[in-house]
Chain A
Amino acid sequence: MKINVKLDEMMARRKIRLKDLAAEVGITEANLSILKTGKAKAIRFSTLEALCEALDCQPGDLLDIEEEK
C-alpha cells in the first residue's frame, strides 16, 4: 500500500505554479518538488494544513492510497 500526493492534479486545477505555491506555503521549491514527485517519506500536519489553505481543498483531495503491484 502506498500513499500518493496528488499535488500536481490540484495545482493544475487551481492553475498555480510550483514557485508561487512554495512561496505561499512557506517551503522551498525543492521540498515542494520532492512532495510532488512522491519522494517524500513523511509530511508534517503544518505543511498539509498550509497546502490545503493555499489550494482551497481538503486533505483527502491531496492524498490517496493505492495497492503496490
Chain B
Amino acid sequence: MKTIKAYAKFLEVFCWVIIIPFVIGTSIYNWFFDQTYWVKLYSTYNSYTRSFLLYQSLSFKNIMLPSFLKSLGIIVHLISLTLLLWGLLSLISVLRKYKQGDIFSLDVFRKFKSVSKIAFAWALYQPIKHTLLTLVATMHNPPGKRVLTLAINSNDVINIFLVGFFLVMTSLMYEGYKLKKEQDLTI
C-alpha cells in the first residue's frame, strides 16, 4: 500500500509540475511565438497533398497563413489539447484517491472509466485533426489546389492500443471493486 501511495504522489506531482505546463507551454509557444510553426504546418500538409511545387514557387511572406486560418488551426489544436488536459485532470483525481489508500471503490472505478472514455475520444480525434488541419492549411490555396485528406498513421495505431489497454484496466478495476465489496461484507 505504501508503494502505491508513493507512486501515486510522485505521478501527481509529475503531472502538475512537468506534463501539464509542458503541454500548455509548447502549444502557446507554437501558436503565438514560433514564426516557423505555421510555415511548417502549411508545407507539411501541402507536401502530403502533392502541392509542393506550389509551395516552392511562393515567397516566405506568401506562405504565411492568414490570421483567420491560424485561428481555425488553433481551434482544431485546442480541441485535442482540451481532451488531453481533461484526461490528465481525471487521471490526477484517480491518483489522489490512490494516495488516500482508496483503490478499489466504486468512485475510483467511475473516474477510471471516464479517463478511458476521454482517451478513446482523444485517439478518435487524431485522424480527424489531421483532416481538419489539411483543410486549414490548403484553404487559402487557389481553386483546384484545396485538398481534403484522410490518413491513419502508426501513432494512431499506438493510440488505439493504449486505449484498448485502458479499457482492460477499467474492467480490472471493476472486478477489484466487486472483490473488495465482498471482502468488506465478510465478517
Nearest residue (CB) in A for B185 is: A41
Residues of B within 8 A of A39 (CB): 185
Complex-state Cα separation, A44 to B186, whole angstroms: 7
A57 within 8 A of B: no
Residues of A within 8 A of B186 (CB): 40-44
Complex-state Cα separation, A39 to B185, whole angstroms: 7
Nearest residue (CB) in B for A27 is: B187
Residues of A within 8 A of B187 (CB): 27, 31-32, 34-35, 40, 42-44, 47
Q: Which residues of B contact A (CB under 8 A)?
A: 182, 185-187
Nearest residue (CB) in B for A41 is: B185
Residues of A within 8 A of B182 (CB): 41-42
Q: How far is the CB of A42 from chain B (nearest CB, A)?
A: 4
Complex-state Cα separation, A31 to B185, whole angstroms: 8
Q: How far is the CB of A36 from chain B (nearest CB, A)?
A: 10
Complex-state Cα separation, A34 to B184, whole angstroms: 10
Complex-state Cα separation, A40 to B186, whole angstroms: 6
Q: How far is the CB of A30 from chain B (nearest CB, A)?
A: 10
Nearest residue (CB) in B for A39 is: B185
Complex-state Cα separation, A27 to B186, whole angstroms: 12
Q: How far is the CB of A43 from chain B (nearest CB, A)?
A: 5
Complex-state Cα separation, A8 to B70, whole angstroms: 74
Please name the 10 residue pairs, one residue from A and one from B, whose CB atoms are nearest each other, closest first. A41-B185, A42-B186, A35-B187, A31-B187, A40-B187, A41-B182, A43-B187, A47-B187, A40-B185, A41-B186
Which residues, 1 to 49 on A, are CB-close (under 8 Å) to B?
A: 27, 31-32, 34-35, 39-44, 47
Q: Which of B182, B185, B186, B187 has the most CB of A within 10 A?
A: B187
Complex-state Cα separation, A42 to B181, whole angstroms: 11
* Cβ-neighbour of B185 out of A27, A34, A47 (below 8 A): A34
Residues of B within 8 A of A43 (CB): 186-187
Q: How far is the CB of A20 from chain B (nearest CB, A)?
A: 17
Complex-state Cα separation, A40 to B37, whole angstroms: 63
Nearest residue (CB) in B for A43 is: B187
Residues of B within 8 A of A41 (CB): 182, 185-186
22 A-B contacts, Cβ less than 8 Å apart?
A27-B187, A31-B187, A32-B187, A34-B185, A34-B187, A35-B187, A39-B185, A40-B185, A40-B186, A40-B187, A41-B182, A41-B185, A41-B186, A42-B182, A42-B185, A42-B186, A42-B187, A43-B186, A43-B187, A44-B186, A44-B187, A47-B187
